[in-house]
Structure 1
């Protein structure tokens, strides 16, 4: 039976509408009647009890705002009558226990992955072509054009074919038929693949490497080092101009820092040393082809689930995200951790207001203190440019019920489940510790997913309530919908529908278990994510400084 309202935490003083409710209706929770004084759209919140001006708004058991003026019981919460407010935080004040979930069902399960010499296991086998500076983007694009179709990695351009059909109709004088011409989308490669054991060649063009502060160039090199070291990557070709801030030795030092025993094939070419563009490109193409020949010798082998490194991300969130999709992947994270794997919670601006809970989950005071330092430093940096975490919710978030950053954050933090926090990393540090890790990234969807892959994630879970077409070049991104309407409206981007939680058909735990089973299929190469099928290879490094 579909419930119409929900109280997320016993201490909350607001209720969530699970379906559209009309002004004047009476709803009952825990034996108490509330007469609605406004129309309440599904996903939005309303006061369970009268709230006076200045009263605290409690949701998820946390302070998420204060009343700007009196709100009657049954009154809808909006950006006009509620203001962002959160509790303060300090160092670790107590230790938090953890009820370890039962993982006996997966104890003997494995996935089929690519074993690397350093002990990491990939869920894919990709070759990278990377520019160290934006000046090399054109050369990278030329290599891309040369390789994709000839090696069978290119896809037929259905939109180009669509325009060609229109041209033919126009030239035949049948312009009227264009009005009803429909696009027939069929996915198939332009040619048969040459290499059976390579999942793709990925080209990570970007706008960095020079012109900004040195820290941004150093950070870019560290991010690219993380991608090269990612277990889903077999090897890489790097193009350098020569005079840019992001020097080759900085990249090489960053790789050694991550992995002193790094042994993957890595080909670095510098245009100002090679001479002509033709010489540079011919060498790059030749070396890359020979690298692909070697990479194709690797095959999938069984691997324990402890080799999973799962990134936890959200984008285009709605008022249901913190109720269904986010806690569902939070339970998946707990299962992965209990199995000896790693999970990574990112997006620090979307942890605003729940810091103390996360601090108390840190396993040591030192790790807790680092989280405090990173959160406060990030907040100060935002305020220095006239912004702040309170400005995080997007128009889409607000429209669908996330009216303050604190409400958004309280739901977003559910992606991290309940397990202890083993480490706190700054961008773009690489993951080394088993268990749950926190990674400092922006709330920007692509910048954050880019960071997760750069820190070593071999799978990313991405929840969305509004629909976000985001993927990653090397790490499969599993898109998890918070509601069934979205999953039915945008089936081309959604992999998993958690709307059954809202409908009362499945528990959070059951949904999280289903997601783990789906991860195993994707990690084994048996199932491609929708983002992979659409070729969504989004890559945006986080630029923290100014341009000079």
Structure 2
């Protein structure tokens, strides 16, 4: 294993793949560099001297400028470098793409749920969702009545708090309580599933639908319509209060837009039209049960891999994400494109600095102009709120070597591979074209994964270098670690380890083939992701204010 890496020939920064002490002499391409200070693994140091204002490059793109003089071998930090990104020009591009060899997968299939519109789900869920936050309590009442009784309650555990209670009642002081060893105890096992072809009933709650702007309520209706339309969903029960901004009519119009031939079972109930809350909840329970009977008639059937719609996401990124896990997803994305599928790259704040590469890959000038327009509007809103894309890296990102937004973006964009960009989608717009799609979302993990499922993604690949438990209610989330240490430390949430790419045990290509096999198993219901197993059903609609 090499101790350092220069990612692109034009780069003037070098990545430390392991901790390097001060004074160490590093030889790269026959050039000697003396490390000026200790360099932690994942961080970068200067390949040459920089004066104030000099550009810094990684991945072959501008990622910042020197804020003060930097010596050759000196560590790059937030104190000596500031974010900078290249200007973008929309221009005709002579873009040519060489697809990867996918011959081992051209005849392979996955076992999915084929819908009447030709889309294929990797799961079969029933949804119970509110149009407004006032109905959250009723959603929870329906969940309490149905989930365990129908066999969808997860095997659960609980901390033995009774031990602390007994200690307290016997007169224990504060220090004794703190030092008491408590264990996790298992709760009662759930019943067997009554409807074997239904993977679960998902009860979504949120804080929107009224009290905010009308535009946010309309966006919420579009998002919920996208969830009901998602191929992983068999049908839904919708609870409405009646007087809210997110009116039933707006939701019904949104359903017609996403699918004019919509034919899934759909039950919409209004509380203000009901005799009482008891009658309203009772009706919701009965209609949900009836919907589950209909959903259970659908069975898994073989489908080509080109029917997969796969969201590409990252969260809790580190300095290795852009050289292991994200390029792995990029190679997978290219494979899926070659097979006729639709990979979807989101998180627009994390494309800042690599816009030119994306523009040059767009299949038309119109698509390129739309991408630049969406980026400019988003950036403008952020600045008006006193922020900006340069504020995107989190403290955790910075601590693990991602110093500027453009540096983070250059690594994050690797998830999109090298294929042509076939469509640019605004928030809640639906995936309709094969090939690489770009979806405008925040970089916020849950807002972005929520959006990917709302636009039709039936499966997600989520890279992380620091670890995050993010999941989604209807779309399985496969968590990919960028490094071996995270995989060992948080093995209960990591599904795939890309750290072996850093240590040289696997190539990106061989790991991508293994990832495709794993995706087929998850899509066929043969394997369950950790996020699904743990019930990590995160759902946060994006209010179109500033969220990075």
TM-score bucket (shorter structure): over 0.9
Match of 2:17 in 1: 18
Residues 225-260 of structure 1 deviation map (CA, whole Å, 9 limit, x = unaligned): 000000000000000000111011111111111111
Measured after TM superposition, the shift of residue 110 of structure 1 is 0.6
Query: Secondary structure in 2 aligned to 1:149?
Result: coil
Alpha carbons 2:156, 2:188 under 8 Å: kept: no
What is the RMSD of the two structures over their aligned residues, measured on CA atoms? 1.6
* Structure 2 counterpart of 1:163, from 161, 164, 169: 161
Quick check: 2:334–2:418 contact (8 Å CA) kept in 1?
yes
Q: What is the CA–CA distance in structure 2 between the aligned matches of 1:310 and 1:101, rounded to whole Å?
A: 18
Specify the alignment match of 2:42 in structure 1: 43
Indicate the SS of the match to 2:14: strand
- Partners of 1:301 and 1:157 in 2: CA distance: 31
2:131 is aligned to 132
| C-alpha separation in 1, matches of 2:186 and 2:417 | 38
Unaligned runs of 5+ in 2: none
Deviation at 1:190, TM superposition (A): 2.2
Q: Which residue of 2 aligns with 1:455?
A: 455
Report the alpha carbon displacement of residue 189 of structure 1 after superposing the two structures with TM: 4.1
What's the counterpart of residue 496 of structure 1? 496
Task: Figure out how many residues of one structure are paired with residues of the other and give that number.
Answer: 544
Residue 393 of structure 2 aligns to a residue whose secondary structure is: coil
CA deviation profile, 1:427-448 (whole Å, cap 9, x unmatched) = 0101000110000000000000
Matches of 1:390 and 1:10, distance apart in 2: 25
Q: Tell me what 2:142 maps to.
A: 143
Contact 2:164–2:180 at 8 Å: present in 1 too?
A: no
User: Cα distance, 1:172 vs. partner?
Assistant: 7.8
**Could you tell me which residue of structure 2 aligns to residue 83 of structure 1?**
82
SS at match of 1:73: coil
**What is the CA distance between 1:168 and its match in structure 2?**
5.5
Counterpart position of 1:120: 119
1:544 and 1:349 map into 2 onto residues whose CA distance is 14
Distance 1:15 1:536 in 2: 37
**CA–CA distance in structure 1, aligned partners of residues 431 and 371 of structure 2:** 15
Q: Matches of 2:488 and 2:409 in 1, distance apart?
A: 26
Moved more, 174-183 or 392-401: 174-183
Cα distance in structure 2, aligned partners of 1:441 and 1:185? 40
CA–CA distance in structure 2, aligned partners of residues 356 and 395 of structure 1: 27
**Do structure 1's residue 253 and structure 2's residue 253 form an aligned pair?**
yes
- In structure 1, what is the equivalent of residue 68 of structure 2? 69
In structure 2, the partner of 1:191 is 191
1:173: how far off? 8.5
Residues 1:188 and 1:68: Cα distance change in structure 2 (over 3 Å): farther
Matched with 2:540 is 540
Cα deviation 1:212-237 (Å, max 9, x = unaligned): 11111110000000000000000000
Distance 2:148 2:338 in 1: 43
Question: How far apart are residue 184 of structure 1 and its match?
Answer: 4.2
Which stretch shows the higher mean deviation, 356-365 or 47-56?
47-56
Which residue of structure 1 lines up, in the alignment, with residue 110 of structure 2?
Answer: 111
Asked whether the equivalents of residues 156 and 187 of structure 2 are also in contact (C-alpha less than 8 Å), the reply is: no
Query: Mean Cα displacement is larger for which, 107-116 or 506-515?
Result: 506-515
Tell me, in whole angstroms, the C-alpha distance in 2 between the residues paired with 1:23 and 1:86: 30
Q: Take 1:545 and 1:86, find their aligned partners in 2: how far apart are those partners? A: 23
Aligned partner of residue 422 in structure 1, secondary structure: strand
Are the structure 2 counterparts of residues 294 and 538 from structure 1 closer, same or farther at C-alpha, using a change threshold of 3 Å? same
Is the deviation greater in 100-109 or in 171-180? 171-180
Q: Provide closer, same or farther for how the CA distance between residues 410 and 168 of structure 1 changes in structure 2, counting only shifts above 3 A.
A: same
Distance 2:8 2:178 in 1: 55
Give the Cα separation in 2 of the matches to 1:460 and 1:81. 37
Query: Structure 2 CA distance, aligned partners of 1:456 and 1:185?
Result: 38
Q: Secondary structure at the match of 1:438?
A: strand
Correspondences of 1:23-422 after superposition (within 5 Å): 23-159=22-158, 162-167=160-165, 179=179, 181=181, 183-184=183-184, 189-422=189-422
SS at match of 1:217: helix
